[in-house]
């Protein structure tokens, strides 16, 4: 089960972009479990419908809408339809995004622009529309998902540049929109395994290769990102805005050349399943 109080988000309405798969799906699961109505939005209806089917077993609290966040008009329509149908929009989680592996020298301008367009401009479109259509007069909380780009992102420089820009955008908005009652923060995940994330990189074992550089000596779970997002959306984070919460077990701080961490299993994964009848996984010690 979620570590948060049952009913914490009762009566709230959230938009989670990319909420049909991986990290976004875990965020959707946890928000729904805590009583939130969640609209998930991305480009492919088949993925979204599958998630809606899985995440709404009893009551219909998850709804799917097709939207390419690169397209400003689609984002405008998405936000207006959410407000029209639900009467409000309390939370936005900008999770939809992606990238491909390439050195900068081999990157086409088209490929560069596509990643910037999704990961930076898409986040800008969603923040701006949520603000204009609802949050400027009602307040709200936004969480932007970025990545571990703090020491550069070789082979994903387009994504690193976009995420660093989102971090700076978030800081500016935290100041500009405070007077409207809007908080905006970042969750920067380290290496988080999901089948969809793995499938993007074909034969490259990104998750296996990243393990030695993670102090926990394991990759993270989508639920470990979700609980950070839920905290930042909650009243417990009422005095937090413009912050970046790294969910990477210290990977962004660790250099194996400077300090060797032996293999260990002392930071087990935090995972929980949506369906009540499934067994709970071991909990983290801390
Ligand atoms: N997994 C990791 O290790 C990791 C680490 C750091 C950051 N991240 C970031 O965390 C986010 C979630 O990743 P994930 O690991 O959960 O991978 P994922 O399952 O592939 O999730 C990406 C989601 O974004 C949606 N999306 C992509 N382009 C979009 C667009 N133009 N408009 C709307 N939605 C779009 C996808 O849905 P559609 O295909 O239906 O559009 C998909 O649901 C991504 O931004 C990712 O880059 C992941």
pLDDT digits (tens, 9 = 90+) for 85-130: 999 999 999 999 999 999 999 999 999 999 999 999 999 999 999 9
Protein residue with its CA nearest to atom 7 in ligand 1: 147
Residue 59 predicted with pLDDT over 70: no
What is the 3-class SS of the chain, one letter each residue? CCCCCCCCCCCCEEEEECCCCHHHHHHHHHHHHCCCEEEEEECCHHHHHHHHHHHCCCCCCEEEEECCCCCHHHHHHHHHHHHHHHCCCCEEEECCCCCCCECHHHCCHHHHHHHHHHHHHHHHHHHHHHHHHHHHHHCEEEEEECCCCECECCCEHHHHHHHHHHHHHHHHHHHHCHHHCEEEEEEEECCECCHHHHHCCCCCCHHHHHHHHCCCCCCECHHHHHHHHHHHHCHHHCCCCCCEEEECCCHHHCCCCCCCCCCCCCCCCCCCCCCCCCCCCCCCCC
pLDDT over 90 percentage in the chain: 87
Q: How far is the CA of 100 from the centre of ligand 1 (A)?
A: 11
Ligand 1 atom closest to the Cα of residue 191 is 3
**Alpha carbon of 235 to those of 140, 225, 231: distances in Å?**
11, 18, 8
The per-residue pLDDT for range 119-152, each reduced to its tens digit, is 999 999 999 999 999 999 999 999 999 999 999 9
pLDDT for res 274: 65
The residue extents of the domains of the chain are: 13-253
Question: In this model, does residue 27 exceed pLDDT 90?
Answer: yes
The residue whose CA is least distant from atom 33 of ligand 1 is: 42
What's the pTM value of the predicted model, to 2 decimals?
0.95
Pocket residue to mutate for ligand 1, from 22, 47, 228, most atoms within 8 A of Cβ: 22
Q: What's the CA-to-centroid distance between 128 and ligand 1, angstroms? A: 20
pLDDT of res. 278: 46
For ligand 1, residues with CB inside 6 Å are 17-18, 20-24, 42-44, 47, 67-70, 95-98, 118, 122, 145, 147, 189, 191-192, 194, 196-197
**Nearest atom, ligand 1, residue 20 CA:** 43
Look at residue 18 and tell me whether its pLDDT is greater than 70.
yes
Atom of ligand 1 nearest to the CA of 192: 3
May I ask the CATH class of domain 13-253?
alpha beta
**pLDDT exceeding 70 applies to what percent of the chain?**
94
pLDDT in tens, 202-255: 878 899 999 999 999 999 999 999 999 999 999 999 999 999 999 999 999 999
| Per-residue model confidence (pLDDT) at position 161 | 98
Please choose, from the candidates 205, 279, 170, 195, the residue with its C-alpha nearest in 3D space to the C-alpha of residue 25.
195
Q: For residue 30, is pLDDT > 70?
A: yes
Q: Which atom of ligand 1 is nearest to the CA of 24?
A: 16
């Amino acid at each position: 089960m979620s570590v948060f109080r049952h009913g914490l988000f009762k009566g709230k309405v959230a938009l989670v972009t990319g909420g049909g798969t991986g990290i976004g799906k875990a965020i959707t699961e946890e928000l729904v479990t805590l009583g939130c109505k969640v609209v998930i939005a991305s480009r492919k209806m088949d993925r979204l419908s599958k998630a809606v089917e899985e995440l709404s077993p009893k009551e219909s609290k998850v709804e799917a809408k097709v939207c390419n966040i690169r397209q400003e008009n689609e984002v405008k329509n998405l936000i207006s339809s959410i407000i029209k149908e639900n009467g409000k929009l309390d939370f936005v989680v900008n999770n939809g995004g992606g990238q491909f592996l390439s050195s900068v020298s081999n990157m086409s301008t088209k490929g560069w622009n596509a990643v910037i367009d999704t990961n930076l401009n898409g986040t800008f479109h969603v923040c701006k529309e949520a603000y204009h259509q609802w949050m400027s007069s009602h307040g709200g909380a936004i969480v932007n998902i970025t990545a571990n780009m703090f020491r550069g992102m070789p082979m994903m420089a387009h994504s690193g540049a976009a995420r660093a820009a989102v971090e700076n955008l978030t800081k500016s908005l935290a100041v500009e929109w405070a007077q409207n009652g809007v908080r905006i923060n970042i969750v920067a995940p380290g290496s988080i395994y999901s089948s969809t994330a793995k499938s993007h990189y074909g034969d490259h074992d990104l998750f296996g290769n990243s393990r030695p550089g993670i102090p926990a000596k394991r990759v993270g779970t989508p639920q470990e990102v979700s609980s950070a997002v839920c905290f930042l959306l909650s009243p417990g984070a009422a005095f937090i805005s413009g912050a970046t919460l790294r969910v990477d077990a210290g990977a962004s701080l660790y250099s194996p050349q400077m300090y060797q961490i032996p293999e260990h299993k002392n930071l087990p994964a935090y995972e929980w399943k949506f369906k009540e009848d499934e067994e709970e996984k071991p909990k983290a010690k801390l």
